[in-house]
Structure 1
Amino acid sequence: MSEKIWYRVLDNKDRLPEGRVKSVTAGHKGICLTHFEGKFSALDNRCPHQGGPLGEGSIEKGMLRCPWHGWDFHPCTGLPPGGYDDGVPTYEVKEEDGAIFVGLDPEPEHRPTVSDVMVETMINWGVDRVFGMVGHSNLGFADAMKRKEQEGKLRYFGIRHEGTASFAASAYGKLTGKPAACFSIAGPGATNMYTGLWDARVDRAPILALTGQVATQVVGTGNFQEVDLVQAFANVAEFNHRVQRDSKHAELMSLAVKHALLMRNVSHLTFPDEVQEVEVPARAKAQGPEKRITALDIAPPKEAVEEAVGLISQAKRPVIIMGHGARKHKEAIIAFAQFLNATVVTTFKGKGLISDHHPLGGGVLGRSGTPIASWFMNESDLLIVFGASFSNHTGITPKKPIIQVDFDPLALSKFHPVEVAVYGDIARSLELFKEGVGPVANTIDQRYEIAERWRIWRDEKTTRLTETSEKGLSSIALFECMNKLTPENAVMCVDVGNNAYSFGRYFESKAHDFLMSGYLGSIGFALPAAMGAWAAVGDSRPVVAVAGDGGLCQYLAEITTLVKYGMPVKLIVLNNHELGKISKEQRAGEFDVWQTSLTNPDFAAFARSAGAWGKQAKTQAEMEAGMEELFTQQGPGLLEVLTDVELI
């Protein structure tokens, strides 16, 4: 028999008066410490009936009463009255120098569980960032992640709302092309993640959703926090499974991550409570991606290449359009544009894929874009489109000849026919296009026209800067200030609403990356996205979030998360006390403006109360000084700018 290990559970015995009980912990063991008839005793803290914490009960008429269902136990022996055999174990107690100690046998060495194998497999596949909330139905899986974090193989971020977890993981996937995980309990924790998962799905971002679940035997019975999560996630998840005792656990996690990566979609695994801590045999090993992923640089069909080359060879004024799907090929596309002397414009989701200061950069198309991009599209004789899906917001005209290149065959000609649909890897397609066109392209050099259109647009912006108001600053003034002061390589996370439209139109990209809730258009995205971006880039690049007052309030409490984990996110909020975009839409639809006004906190004061830097700006001078100070802060900071809802 091994010697007992003695744990100090009470520093001063006087803190537990006669006739009282208290929950304490000895190692990992929960103890109900009692003080009865002058004696300290230690009982197992878990009631054998419903698991109630006996240390939260009370001593009544000489018996310890369970706080959950009222069953009685003797405070010293743990035995129930009447000779029943459902007592609770007791443990040795000793007193030294006024402190109370409980003696326990040494804890057994940890044995690998289902959760251990699956967490290790997840990490082997590159999923080493997790955003989530630990709770009663995911504790076994959380414990497995804790061990890997202690080994330095995983970063876990505890958030204040599960919607933040899924948005942050979605942003991480958009920026890196790799999945992060979001993690929740059963029931409401899981359903809170739903919106962020749809954001990832429609924007084609890989993401892994991990949910706890109540015991399998009570699913479908109306049990507390019971939701059939496989059924609930059926529409949003490309890969969607319940983990079972007899599952091939490493293989199941491998398939989940593989689907997320290759399909650029949502994978969901739910872990019933009774499965998470099941021990696995010694032969059960974690897996990794070795020899499980094929090369994806497939060449397009020969006929499509020949048709595309024919159109390119005839074009005089081609324009290249880059969407978010072309992100990892932007250098190759820009090199091809230089070969063709072609203007390059982007969708809003693709903002920043080419700098607005590049000689061939034509800005953003569509509702959040500039007149530069639309002018060149309308003057073109050929559009070459990479990684864009032709949504209404983008505004790619079907009236011009179009070559569309995409690695997703369903995206090709999705809304209308195009002249040439090219299915294949973008970089490989570019190589074949250039080879087919020959050493010299017969195109007009558009650089002079690009510079001229930018001059016209910047003159227009200067004119708009003269528009002022007593209600607040204009959005254009704010974004012109950002143009001067924002670090040139920052990751920019933008919310939804008028702030996003003005951001797309007035902020000029340099070496920035941009993240947004594209097709779902979910308000509240910016702050959680900034957390996901920082998890991806760490302190190697600045991370900036731009939000309106309506969007920021959705996840305002996450400023405390920035502080907790030292995330130096810089948050700029446009406060106009209104859901301005909705008011505008009501007017456009000839409705009365109704229920769009907002009562806001002092955002800067809230940030300071959470431990972040915060400052409010009401004037141009205050805004410029505040923004300059914001970007010098070492930790998280918030600049609140009071703006006029009509000056967008």
Structure 2
Amino acid sequence: MTLTSRSFSQGSSKHENPVWITGADALMDSLKIHGVKVIFGYPGGAILPIYDAVHKAEQDGWLKHYMVRHEQGGSHAADGYARSTGEVGVCFGTSGPGATNLVTGIATAQMDSVPLVVVTGQVPRPAIGTDAFQETDIFGITLPIVKHSWVIRDPSDIAKVVSEAFFIASSGRPGPVLIDIPKDVGQEFFNYQRVLPGEIIPKGFKRNGEINDCDINKAIKLIEDSKRPLLYVGGGAISSGAHDEIKTLAKNYQIPVTTTLMGKGAFDEKDNLSVGMLGMHGTAYANFAVTECDLLIAIGARFDDRVTGKLDTFAPNAKVIHIDIDPAEVNKNRRVDVAIVADVSKAVLKINEQSLKNKFTCQTKNWLEKIDFWKHKHPLYDPPKEGEIYPQEVLLKVRELLPEAYITTDVGQHQMWAAQYLRNSPRKWISSAGLGTMGFGLPAAIGVKAALPNSDVICIAGDASVLMNIQELGTLSQYGLKVKLIIINNRWQGMVRQWQESFYDERYSSSDMSCGEPDFVKLAESFGVKGYLISDRKELQNDLKNAFDHDGPALINILVRRGENCYPMVPPGKSNAQMVGYVNCED
């Protein structure tokens, strides 16, 4: 018999009588009991038995499958789903090119610690190793970019593997896992027994030990002795949901807070303690603060090169407390004085609880006054209100019109401007940080909108990066996903052009996108998506509002000043204090 939603009750365990079903049906039931309601994917020969089971699941009403137009779009959509919800994202692809098309999305999720379960079809078991049609060793290809992976040779392993996959993807430092299923495994009937979430702990898995009170007390002592402390908050704070604990820590000790690109939203950027993003394109005042602090409290951050600049000049006079769930990150790039290896939410909570017992006099008044001085002397650039539209003012309008929207971005200058000028709540900033994946934003927005259909979702893209997954306009159209895609269009590969101008004597090799650029409005409309073109500042406010009010997906192509550069900028090999292009307001 074929398993349907009536074959088991939701709470049934593996001790129920087994049911005679196919491997594909077993996979879908295993996904169902792990809470999966949405899958992104693209069918093909080797995964067709699984797609037949997908059809049954959609008929039974418990699953929504979004057919993307390219497997990479599916992996990025699952990524956006996971980042916006904190749940595990799921995507499907077939064997061979279908599986290899997923690789960029898997690597993106691995670099940014995003939990994904990626299921690929594979050629039948007897054909493995024969160079069969569309055979690729996706297990071997993805080994360096997944937390774990499996090739299922026996359908009776499916329930166990799915349970392990969700456990591994979401536990500790999150990340992607891959399950490769040969076609005949999906077709084979067997006696299926459910494995419920958490019933099987993978071999070799070690839970984090108890947080050491001695380390907590050492951290508190450094904080209370410090006169110029700085909280440096990364993506781990988002993953662990630590924003309330970080707010309490910052307020109790009056510590300024800077975030990484991945950490945006972990602390309210409208708060007077916020100094915004630090690093290569961070605010001047954040970079000055990290250079002059005497204590750096790193929370869920990994001392990435785009943050630190020249490593030996990063927080050169500071003691360092590093709180991270991954022991491999501690002392990897920067030697620390106190290391707390734990879930950052629990660790910061323990610091807060312990510090309440201490009698403490805040010593940061002078430090905060100095930072306020930097904020007034070196603010973010205020673009002129004349001539061509400046890209910065587009982001300011977005912030004004939809301040609580979920934001996805592609990669490039527009990404950095968005990071500088938009202010985001937790999980409302979704951007490829570690891998810097062009083409990420549009499919990621699909994932966010699929997860949160009643929320405003905006993708900020560049005219070059959007073309890398522009086909996903078809997915927006098919499913009526009301994503608003804003193209900051300077007719360049903007960040490449900026580097060529700054470091390659203005030799603009292969970075001009003006020749061959499509008419984005007509292209959008050919997909059934409403298109807008904005080239005059007078139209910006009203046309943006009209696009945001449109009851359907929309593409807004905004022509901006071609030669605008993204500043401040820390040149390669320089310290964070050696920025170029930052505003210097005279008193």
Q: Which band: TM-score by shorter chain? A: 0.7 to 0.9
**Structure 1 residue 456, shift from structure 2 partner:** 4.3
Q: Distance in 1 between matches of 2:163 and 2:558?
A: 46
Tell me which amino acid in the other structure corresponds to 1:252: V
Deviation at 1:371, TM superposition (A): 1.5
Which of 538, 550, 554 is 1:633 aligned to?
550
Q: How does 1:455-474 map to 2 (within 5 A)?
A: 455-458=376-379, 461-462=381-382, 464-466=383-385, 469=387, 472-474=388-390
Provide the TM-score with structure 1 as the length reference: 0.77
Report the more deviating stretch, 175-184 or 381-390. 175-184
Pairwise CA distance, 1:297: 8.0
Number of the residue aligned with 2:7: none
Gaps of 5+ in 2: 1-18, 566-587
Structure number with greater CO (CA < 8 Å, separation at least 6) is 2
Question: Secondary structure in 1 aligned to 2:45?
Answer: coil
Shift in CA distance, 512/410, structure 1 to aligned 2, threshold 3 Å: closer
1:264 aligns with 2:144: no
Alignment of 1:582-621 (within 5 A): 582-590=496-504, 592-598=507-513, 599-621=516-538
Q: CA deviation at 1:417?
A: 0.3
Paired with 1:493 and 1:643, the residues of 2 have a C-alpha distance of 20
Q: CA deviation at 1:518?
A: 0.9
Alignment of 1:208-227 (within 5 A): 208-227=117-136
- Decide whether the 8 Å contact of 1:298 with 1:425 is kept in 2: no
Write the distance in 1 (CA, Å) between the matches of 2:66 and 2:142: 23
Which residue of 2 is the match for residue 65 of structure 1?
none
Instruction: Answer whether contact 1:167 1:528 (CA < 8 A) is retained.
Output: yes
The percentage of counterpart residues that share the same residue type is: 28
Which residue of structure 2 lines up, in the alignment, with residue 477 of structure 1? 393
Query: What secondary structure sits across from 1:644 in the alignment?
Result: coil
Provide the aligned C-alpha RMSD in A: 2.3
Closer, same or farther: CA 280–344 of 1 in aligned 2, 3 Å: same
1: distance between equivalents of 2:425 and 2:37? 30
**Which of the residues 237, 242, 260 maps onto 2:151?**
242
- Following superposition, the deviation at residue 144 of structure 1 comes to 1.4
Give the one of 213, 217, 220 matched to 1:309.
Answer: 220
Q: Select 1:289's aligned residue among 187, 194, 197.
A: 197
Q: 1:497 maps to what in 2?
A: 412
Aligned length, in residue pairs: 530
Cα 1:153–1:117 shift into 2, 3 Å: same
Greater displacement, 429-438 / 614-623: 429-438
- Quote the offset at 1:146 in angstroms: 2.1
Report how far residue 404 of structure 1 moved: 0.9
Alignment of 1:43-82 (within 5 A): none
SS of 1:638's partner is strand
Which secondary structure state, in structure 2, belongs to the residue aligned with residue 432 of structure 1? helix
Counterpart of 1:21? none
Pick the structure with greater CA Rg: 1
The answer for the alignment partner of 1:366 in structure 2 is: 279
Change in Cα spacing, 1:421 to 1:290, as seen in structure 2 (3 Å) is closer
Deviation, 1:171, is: 2.4
Q: How many angstroms does 1:131 deviate by? A: 0.8
1:543/1:451 CA distance change after superposition, 3 Å:
farther
Distance 1:620 1:265, change over 3 A: same
Q: In proportion to residue count, which structure has more strand?
A: 1
Structure 1's 276 and 246: CA in aligned 2 closer, same or farther, altered over 3 A?
closer
Q: Distance in 1 between matches of 2:129 and 2:493?
A: 40
2:137 aligns to what? Answer: 228
Q: Partners in 2 of 1:313 and 1:288 — Cα distance? A: 46
Structure richer in helix, relative to its length: 2
Correspondence 1:559 to 2:473: yes
SS in 2 for 1:138: helix
The unaligned stretches of length 5 or more in structure 1 are 1-109
After superposition, give the CA deviation of every residue in 1:296-333 in whole Å (9 maximum; x if it has no partner). 78542233222212101201232112111101101111
Give the match for residue 443 of structure 1.
363
Q: How does 1:568-583 map to 2 (within 5 A)?
A: 568-583=482-497
Q: 1:441 to 1:127 in 2, by over 3 A?
A: farther
Q: How far off is 1:334 after superposition? A: 0.7
Aligned to 2:183: 273
Deviations 1:581-604 (A, max 9, x none): 112222333262111111211212
TM-score by length of 2: 0.85
Q: Which residue of 1 aligns with 2:15?
A: none
Please show how residues 331-346 of structure 1 align to structure 2 within 5 Å: 331-346=244-259
